[in-house]
Structure 1
């Protein structure tokens, strides 16, 4: 009897902990919906802008290779409606096909202050930092915008980001999302960034947790200079996380832009997209080790199974009914969140959404397991090993 009592109390405690975690995840769902609706796609107050003295912005664009959308993506930066900015394009390899695209655009828009930097400068293991270093050193404005090659801008996006840069703000970031494109891999990518990723990103931003990604981030150059410039972050692969941490450690705030970062790189297949997601998981595991346990347990199907058992154990409700309710509500909230971020009619059918959503949820654990099983990161032309804390070492190929 005593052994049975101990087992009962242990199982009851486990069930209560699971239900608390389940409730917290639902809180994150609704928090993301609330915050997304509150901050995204807001109109800029043009009357107040007229009275502002807008600072200059140096836009650094690190480029590697070319895809069918690169030219049109870069052209949107030449068409920005902003009074004072410069474009600094960075290419590591002098034979890179992106160089031709850059030169053609510079020739097409001679009125835009634009420069091309070839060769980079090695200051650490991070190839992106190495690629950007010459452009950073040559930048002449007080704000630095680091923008990945695949980003597409609206003509007022830079204005929107600068307006969010208040005196106590050191970094303005855009929530990753994707443009409408053809093909199922593009649908899967949009569903991922508009549901699972957006839920964590928006709720973390609301709770003031370090969440910015480096694909589109506006920063104060003088604050970067105080710690040694971007070269000081060359030892990390997740330089975006440590940019933000450097600012918050000094008491500055991070601010989300009202416009998402419109990724528009050509996605040729699902495997390429999954490799990208796996690489990010490896970075999270190295920087935040407790994610090894928390991340898989917070996935829809795993958490739903655990919560179904816990609730049925405590109050004798059919676990299958709970599980179905859990999945249906999760699905509906994800669709609602995606619609809020899209801010227009979705470019694919509800059937496409169902299939993409199921694939995202079913493959989540597979990709996370792959990240644990193969911790080395293959990125661009190098392979890297991560230490706890996010510091990276380049792995030299065996002869």
Structure 2
């Protein structure tokens, strides 16, 4: 056998092994999601500890009022709401004040001003509220989230003596327009697949949009201020808990993002930012992520199947895409806990656009080390460390 044929054979075998591994990930996410999501472990009222919910705010989103109001309606015995804004000219202040006046029986406070502990603006915004929190459990919740009245109970019920951090799997509410469908399909397929399978396998996949943490363990790690040097503070929160011997788990209810301002382009910018952050923390992702996407994986394994088994590459590719599509559709039904609220045609168009754009967005993400986040520019270095430009 010539050297060239030996290299080709090796590459073809590696690709087929990787292809089989990806299908295992698909099935793992599907079955784990069916088992874990939309299930709240039994919990007695006396086990529902007090919770301090920190809400960092910047500006007013069209849905901000209705999103924040859901936190005033939580059915939970003891919790406090700690709202944070960066300066006294922020219009979010009026929204918070109106809700505090509307629900005087809810323990809620407003903090104005930042405490600089690093380049992470979100951490700087939350520090004063964190230092004033009175309960042993801390929830960090983004401004664009809404909660069901039993969501906090669901998160606390997922705690156990060995669990230090509970996070919600990112998802989105139903909204109007194609951009909303596009986001929902992404979070219900590609994002959900990676999130569920990683959590099942014990891989750190924490996102900080909604997570509950033990305050005493966080204090042992240096407190919230110790994470101000990172942009992806959520990932390093989880790493700190793991180092202390605690596990991190997802709760039964997904996190419901409900942005009032959205578009396909703005969503692409979010995907690019997240890809840059992931690659700075785990460099091997630069190579692995693109080749594990549906279209590129299909092209590569079509060649490998033809080389190894003399299979028609076009037939193999079409079957590969069809199976990927069907399993993604089933996974999104698991996330929705029932039939989809969008048509099959809308799902198809959004799914095709997402899969077709994956390689382009990945290349955009790796074209620079700079990140634009909340109108500020940052340069991310290896290890996830960030500095403002």
So what's the TM-score if we normalise by structure 2? 0.98
The residue aligned with 1:173 is 167
Q: Does 1:49 align with 2:47?
A: no
Conserved? CA contact 1:267–1:273, under 8 Å: no
Aligned residues: 389
Q: Of 5, 10, 15, which residue of structure 2 is paired with 1:18?
A: 15
**Does 2:281 match 1:281?**
no
Task: Give me the whole-angstrom Cα distance separating, in 2, the residues matched to 1:208 and 1:367.
Answer: 27
**Separation in structure 2 between the aligned mates of residue 131 and residue 377 of structure 1, nearest angstrom:** 19
Q: In the aligned structure 2, how far is the partner of 1:264 from the partner of 1:137?
A: 28
Distance 1:53 1:315 in 2: 58
Determine the structure 1 residue equivalent to 2:358.
Answer: 364
Out of 176, 200, 203, the residue aligned to residue 206 of structure 1 is: 200
Post-superposition Cα deviations, 1:140-168, rounded to whole Å, max 9, x if no partner, equal 00000000001110000000100111111
Paired residue for 1:254? Answer: 248
Gaps of 5+ in 2: none
Question: Taking structure 1 as reference, are residues 166 and 285 closer, same or farther at Cα in structure 2, changes over 3 Å only?
Answer: same
Q: Cα offset for 1:5?
A: 2.1
Q: Specify the alignment match of 1:35 in structure 2.
A: 32
- 1:186–1:267 contact (8 Å) kept in structure 2: no
Range that drifts further, 266-275 or 14-23: 266-275
Instruction: Pick one of 322, 329, 351 that aligns with 2:323.
Output: 329
User: How much has 1:251 moved relative to structure 2?
Assistant: 1.2
Aligned partners of 2:348 and 2:260: how far apart in 1?
Answer: 22
Aligned to 2:73, which of 75, 79, 84? 79
Residue 225 of structure 2 corresponds to residue 231 of structure 1: yes
Aligned-residue offset at 1:374: 2.7
Aligned with 1:113 (options 96, 101, 107): 107
SS in 1 for 2:47: coil
**Residue 134 (structure 1) aligned with residue 128 (structure 2):** yes
Structure 1 residues 274-293: Cα deviation after superposition (integer angstroms, max 9, x where no partner) = 10111000100100111110
Instruction: For residues 88-145 of structure 1, give each alpha carbon's deviation from its aligned partner in whole angstroms, at most 9, with x where no partner exists.
Output: 0000121111111100000000000000001111111100000000000000000000
Q: Residues 187-198 of structure 1: matches in 2 within 5 Å?
A: 187-198=181-192
Instruction: Report the TM-score when normalising by structure 1.
Output: 0.96
Partner of 2:5: 8
Counterpart selection for 1:150 from 130, 134, 144: 144
Q: Which ranges in structure 1 are unaligned for 5 or more consecutive residues?
A: none
Are the equivalent residues in 2 in contact too, given 1:185–1:267 (CA < 8 A)? no
| CA displacement 1:278-319 (0-9 Å, x = unmatched) | 100010010011111000011101001111111110111111
State the alpha-carbon separation in 2 of the partners of residues 44 and 204 from structure 1.
21
Residues 369 and 381, structure 2, Cα contact 8 Å, conserved in 1: no
CA contact (8 A) 2:53 2:139 kept: yes
Offset, 1:82 = 0.4
Distance in 2 separating the partners of 1:226 and 1:251: 12
